[in-house]
Amino acid sequence: MSVLFKDGLVFQGKKILPSGFCVLVEGNVIKRVAPHAEFVGFDGEVISLEGKTLLPGLIDCHVHLVFSGQSDLQATVSTLKQHDLVLRSLYNAQQILEGGVTSIRDCAGHDYIEVAVRDACNAGLFKGPTIKVAGKAICMTGGHIHFMARQADGPQEVIKAVREQVLHGVDLIKLMATGGVVTEGVNPEDSHFDDQELLAGVKEAHRFQKTVACHAQGADGIRNAVLAGVDSIEHGIFLNDDSMNEMVKRGTFLVPTICALKAMLDGDEIPDYMREKCARLEDRQKEAIISFYKAGGKLVMGTDSGTPGNHHGDNAQELQFMVDMGISSEDALIAATFNGADLMRLKDRGSIQEGYKADLLVVDGNPFNDISKASDKNNHQIVMKDGGIIVDRRTSIAHKISLAA
């Protein structure tokens, strides 16, 4: 099947293409990106982009498929049955896709359920986003999300924990350098793994070509993680100038996850201990993100969807929060497409280029003037995954994906 997108704005992932450019999709691939004149006489399906914008499908570099926004994550993994969690995780992945996000990185799961969901979706058994997974987070004894993590102490045990994740077929390694919000009794400001443990974990992960995503909120933990050579700092709340400069120099990504704090501050039924921690992080988070952005650091979009009150499917709203903080619409969209693919090492996604997979998003209007055109999924006209239309709001009844592919 051939589909030609024509007569609208095309954002290629890094830049807006000159007016008059069309995009031809054949099968699951972007076959040709060229001026309109080249397609005179085209007799396949034509999708008019008049008054609309064509973007690469969005990429969310930080989600948790096993959670569905419940307020108590420990209770969720300890009380829900495994078979419930499997189906919910698959449903969550599909919700994310329907929300315009065509690739995701799961940054810590439970009992490798998300590994099975990844395999099912990536193999095409079920419709879903392209998924990469970290398996179990690796934390110190009693560390952040210890109730679902692989607890390890000392460099040698961290190395063993990394090898266990590799054995389970993960794509990346998640290390916990500090405390965090959703675990009762730990402080985001405290560093957890020390520099030697982080160094050992990163070295072992890189030895097997796995990137390292590092949960790091307190300043000492961020510094330890950056100097250990992690690929991305998740959250980065108390980022200071020294660590920021080091990240810019090394090309370390920052994954802000603004959605997560907002959802906990605004949500109902959020435990007091979480809300108190969020309140002391909120202003600091904004400072960190904006100073990193102004210093020229590499930002990607990450939402932490699945955490309390932070629902899968609303992931694109992170774009609005980024822009509200002072990031330009264009840079927010680069973070959510091209940069996300770069961090996830997706060599043929995140950009509208010939030979790339046809993961595309058509939105109403111009998101560079009004980011809500991309951040509010109700303004998404078409979500295309690997050349197949998943959501189509051009008619009054939106298509819904079915469980079976």
CB of 145 to Zn ion, least distance (A): 8
In the chain, the amino acid numbered 282 is: E
Q: Is 20 left (phi over 0), alpha (psi -120 to 50) or beta?
A: left
Site for Zn ion in 107-126 (CB under 5 A): 107
Which region, judged by CB under 5 A, interacts with Zn ion, from 112-120, 300-308, 314-322, 361-369? 300-308
Q: Given CA atoms 324, 285, 198, 184 in this order, what sign does their dihedral have? A: negative
Contact status: 304 vs Zn ion (CB under 5 A):
yes
Which region, judged by CB under 5 A, interacts with Zn ion, from 37-45, 137-145, 301-309, 361-369? 301-309
CB of 178 to Zn ion, least distance (A): 12
Site size for Zn ion (CB under 5 A): 2
Which region, judged by CB under 5 A, interacts with Zn ion, from 69-77, 99-107, 205-213, 347-355? 99-107
Which region, judged by CB under 5 A, interacts with Zn ion, from 102-110, 181-189, 200-208, 384-392? 102-110
Buried-exposed string 316-330: b where 16+ CB fall within 10 A, e elsewhere: bbbbbbbbebebebb
CB of 386 to Zn ion, least distance (A): 27
- Side-chain half-sphere exposure of 258, counting CA atoms within 13 A: 24
Which region, judged by CB under 5 A, interacts with Zn ion, from 185-193, 304-312, 328-336, 345-353? 304-312
**Residue placing its CB nearer to Zn ion in the complex, 220 or 304:** 304
**Residue placing its CB nearer to Zn ion in the complex, 255 or 363:** 255
**Residue placing its CB nearer to Zn ion in the complex, 216 or 361:** 216
Pairing mode, strands 380-385 and 360-364: antiparallel
CB of 375 to Zn ion, least distance (A): 20
Pairing mode, strands 2-6 and 45-48: parallel
Q: Phi/psi at 251 (nearest 5 deg)?
A: 80, 25
CB of 349 to Zn ion, least distance (A): 22
Q: Single out the residue of 224, 57, 201, 58 nearest to residue 134, CA to CA.
A: 201
**Residue placing its CB nearer to Zn ion in the complex, 143 or 367:** 143
Contact status: 318 vs Zn ion (CB under 5 A):
no
Residue nearest to Zn ion (CB): 304
Which region, judged by CB under 5 A, interacts with Zn ion, from 105-113, 181-189, 329-337, 368-376? 105-113
Return contacts of 34-38, CB within 8 angstroms, 24+ apart.
36/6, 36/7
Site for Zn ion in 325-364 (CB under 5 A): none
**Residue placing its CB nearer to Zn ion in the complex, 60 or 364:** 60
Burial of 355 (0-12, 13-18, 19+ CB in 10 A): exposed
CB of 249 to Zn ion, least distance (A): 26
Q: Single out the residue of 151, 254, 235 nearest to residue 193, CA to CA.
A: 151
CB 227 within 8 A of CB 279: no
| Angle between helical axes of 241-250 and 219-228 (0-180°, round to 10) | 20
CB of 148 to Zn ion, least distance (A): 11
Residues of this chain that bind Zn ion (CB under 5 A): 107, 304
